[in-house]
Amino acid sequence: MSDRPTVLDELAAAALARAKELRARTDLDNLYQEALLFEKRDFAAALRTPGLSVISEIKRASPSVGFISDADPAAWAARYEAEGASCLSVLTEPDRFKGSLEDLDAARHRVALPVIRKDFTVDKAQVLEAGTRADAVLLIAALFDAASLARYISLAVELGLTPLVEVHDEAEADLALESGAQVIGVNNRDLRDFTVDLGTFERLASKLAGATLVAESGVKAPQDARRLRDAGADAVLVGEAAMREPSLVAKLSALA
C-alpha cells in the first residue's frame, strides 16, 4: 500500500493552512457573534419537501476532471433557481476547485435558495466563517474523529447552520451517527482516488435510516437520480453534470 498522500489529504492540509491564516487575522469572538447574527435560510427543511430535492452545485474545476467552466456564480445561481433547484452548493476551495468566498456571496445574494459552503472544513474558525455568509456547512467525516465531529456539528447548529456530514463507507457512516448528524450526504465518489459508484449510496442508505439523506456525485441523468431516490435519497447533489447541462436540474426536480 502506498504511503503517498491522497488528494483528500492534500486538500485537508491546504485547508488547515488557510485556517491558520484566518485565525491570525480574525478575532474569533467577533466572528462568532457575526455568525450568530447572520440570518440563515433553512437548508435542512428544503431537503425534506415532497419529491426529490436537488442541490445544484457551482464549481469551476475539480481534481477529477480539471477545468469545467469559468462560471459567473450569480448567473448560475439564478439559472439553477429557475430550473427548480431546492438548494445551492458553492465551492469555495481556491486551489483545486478554483472557488472563493466571493463566489458564495455572489450566488447567495442573487437567489432566495439556501446555500451550503462546500469546502474542506478542518477548523472551528472555518465553521464560524461559514456562519457569517452561508446557510449550511460541509463536514467530511473522514477528516474528523468522533469527538471533534460532534463538536463541529454542535457549533454549526448553535450558529443556525445545517451541518451536512459527508460519508463514504460504513465506518464513516457509524462516525456520523455517533456524532449526532441529522443530515448526511453519502458521496458516491471516493475522495481518496475519485472513483464513482452509485452502489455506495445503496449500500449505506439503510444503515442511515432516520437521517435526511443526500446522494452526492455520479448523477448524470434522471435514471441515476431515480435509482438513488428509490434507494432512500431525500435529495441529490449534482455538480459537474449540472455545470455542463443546467437543464438537467429541471429534469431531476420534476421527478415525483
pLDDT digits (tens, 9 = 90+) for 7-23: 888 999 999 999 999 99
The grid cell for 188 is: 458516491
Ordered by start, the domain boundaries in the chain are: 7-253
> Residue 27: CB partners within 8 Å, gap ≥ 6?
none
pLDDT of residue 252: 94
Q: Which residue, among 107, 75, 74, has the nearest Cα to 89 in the 3D structure?
A: 107
Mean pLDDT of 85-96: 95
Measured between its terminal Cα atoms, the distance across the chain in Å is 45
The grid cell for 42 is: 433553512
| pLDDT greater than 70 at residue 256 | no
pLDDT of residue 1: 39
pTM as predicted: 0.94
Instruction: Name the pLDDT band for 3 (thresholds 50, 70, 90).
Output: low
CA torsion sign, 81 to 135 to 147 to 92? positive
The grid cell for 147 is: 469527538
More confident residue, 70 or 75: 75
Mean pLDDT of 191-214: 91
> What distance in Å separates the CA atoms of residue 125 and residue 26, rounded to the nearest whole number?
9
CATH classification for the domain delimited by 7-253, as one of 3.20.20.70, 1.10.30.50, 3.30.70.1060, 3.40.50.920:
3.20.20.70
